[in-house]
Amino acid sequence: MNIAAPKYWIIVASKDHAKSGMAAGIAQACHGKSSPLKRMKKGDMVIFYSGKQTMTKPEKCQQFTALGKVLDEETYHFQVSADFCPSRRNIAFEQIKHISILPLIDDLQFIKNKKSWGYPFRFGFFEINKHDFDLISSQMLQNHYA
């Protein structure tokens, strides 16, 4: 049986939304769209990047704020309010520490233009390589109780 190697993903969400997702054991992406989440498979790994502290305010965060593994193959809808029913995925989150992206920019391969390092995050959801995942996750998992 040929088991595919896991893929590694970045989801962009404000820090407060990443925290809510961790508490619920779920991921949402791109304002609740299902297509990004359907690209993920069971066993894939996901890192949340938070450019802002909260979605509605401009206060910067610029940190990686959550790390987890996709638990199953199911993408499902969840009725949040009368007019919002986002798609979700079940995620097993790790205990981590939030880390700044700033010291990592030069070493992250998915950031092609180091002067405009925020550009890839505009897409809200994208795949990264194992090198970048290992670089980020090793920092997040190191001394996470500190």
The verdict on residue 20 lying in a domain is yes
The verdict on residue 21 lying in a domain is yes
The verdict on residue 1 lying in a domain is no
The verdict on residue 120 lying in a domain is yes
pLDDT of 1 reads 53
What's the total number of domains in the chain?
Answer: 1
pLDDT of 142 reads 85
Domain with 111 in it: what CATH number?
Answer: 3.10.590.10
In percent, the amount of the chain with pLDDT more than 90 equals: 79
The verdict on residue 146 lying in a domain is no
CB 96 within 8 A of CB 67: yes
Q: Is the pLDDT of residue 128 over 70?
A: yes
The verdict on residue 36 lying in a domain is yes
pLDDT digit string, tens, across residues 70-111: 999 999 888 888 888 889 999 999 999 999 999 999 999 999
pLDDT of 143 reads 63
Q: Is the pLDDT of residue 146 over 50?
A: no
The verdict on residue 129 lying in a domain is yes
CA angle 108, 129, 69 (to 5 degrees): 110
pLDDT of 144 reads 54
pLDDT of 101 reads 98
**What average pLDDT does range 118-142 have in this prediction?**
96
Q: Is the pLDDT of residue 69 over 80?
A: yes
Range of the domain at 15: 8-141
The verdict on residue 133 lying in a domain is yes
In percent, the amount of the chain with pLDDT more than 70 equals: 95
- Count CA atoms closer than 13 A to 69's CA, side-chain side: 8
pLDDT of 2 reads 55
